[in-house]
Amino acid sequence: MGRLFGTDGVRGLANRDLTAELALDLAVAAAHVLGDVGAFVGHRPRAVVGRDSRASGEFLEAAVVAGLASAGVDVILLGVTPTPAVAFLTEVLGADLGVMLSASHNPMPDNGIKFFARGGHKLDDVIEDAIELRMREPWDRPVGADVGRVVVEADACVLYEEHLLATTPHRLDGIKVVVDCANGAASFVAPDVYERAGAHVIAIHSEPDGLNINENCGSTHLGDLQAAVRDHKADLGIAHDGDADRCLAVDADGNIIDGDHILAILAIAMRDSGKLTNNTVVATVMSNLGFKIAMQAHDITVIETGVGDRYVLEAMKAEQLALGGEQSGHVVMLEHATTGDGLLTALHLMARMAQSKESLAQLAARIVKLPQVLVNVQGVDKVALAQNAAVQAAVAKAELELGAEGRVLLRSSGTEPVIRVMVEAQSQELAQRITDQLAAVVFAELSLG
């Protein structure tokens, strides 16, 4: 069996790949690895548990809570809440671990389990491997008063909202925003906190029923948001994913403002206020060349990492930097959060608009992006990608054709069974043609069918 943990926890088709039994076993193992810290510092181990709005989250939550409590861990149950709220409350409530049940932007049938260590930090590979090693090992089960207790603290998110408001550098009075909550974890928090910050808020896709999360809405389907922004004559639109750890936007005309734009806007704002440590920002290899050119023009250094907010976080911590993010809309602001936070990102983006009195289109115009095409090739052998000579030859040929004014990136997804083919070029037509050619080679050479 391969490694259980991917780039963002354990994820798969709920009740097929990610079963109640697996969730319980993971929770017990995590309790043994992470809960030991609580005993070391002199209190019973504590955990906070949250989930997004997927129907499968209900039985997976029950399994995780059963595993933790059976291992002697007291559980604070948050209910439907954003991933960054779980991270924040893990720290604020003095918990030894946090657990979030979510598959983020994936379709409703999927689900996932993310763990946070004491302080609200994502786990490194060593800790994840330790959890895997301790699954289903013999253990001494507590009895009587030593079993864990479970309390429901649905109002704990008020602490998270207060934290978000305290970090916002400028009131949002006068800003009219449409927020697409993806029928997910943002539905009960985002509209409220944006209104409390001063914005006039129109919420869409904010009525989760367990089945409609990410369904033609949210950060992966922006059509409804674009239409709503134009219909309501709003200043901008904000799109969250299922667990609200990412944020994309559209301007008043419905043009998409992606994570590269948002990261650049925040980097320039933080540089202007003296809060951008070493005038440096962390981005991934997926960031557009136009982003890097814009940062260079503003005397901001870019450190590049692999794809995944955990790698962005690692680089930020290693260099003690304040800001990093991904094109997908994961933005990490380490002064205020230990992980990507879509609501925090949106508040600071709107605060920049309010403070500068510039529209989102004007702020985004500082980044002139090269045309970029991304194709997900499904049904292929991800492991064989790096060793396939025909694929590598096709990449070399494409890079020769593009020269210095474009680039090619092929990578295996860490969260989905696909290979991503990305091409940037001076024209959309050229980027599309080369992407299609490379995708065809990848499928022909690596198809599992």
**Bridge partner list, 409:** 422
Q: Phi first, then psi: what are they for 63, rounded to 5°?
A: -70, -45
Q: Is 248 helix (H, G, I), strand (E, B) or coil?
A: strand
144 vs 69, 71, 74, 76, CA distance in Å?
Answer: 12, 12, 14, 20
Strands 97-101 and 74-80: unpaired
Is 167:86 a contact under the CB 8 Å cutoff? no
Q: Is 214 helix (H, G, I), strand (E, B) or coil?
A: coil
309 vs 246, 261, 279, 333, 340, CA distance in Å?
Answer: 10, 17, 20, 12, 7
Is 46:31 a contact under the CB 8 Å cutoff? no
Spatial CB neighbours of 402, under 8 Å, sequence gap ≥ 6: 408, 423, 424, 425, 430, 434
Is 77:99 a contact under the CB 8 Å cutoff? no
| Residue at token pair 């299922």 | 242
CA torsion sign, 387 to 393 to 398 to 403?
positive
d(CA 211, CA 214): 9
Residues assigned a catalytic role:
104
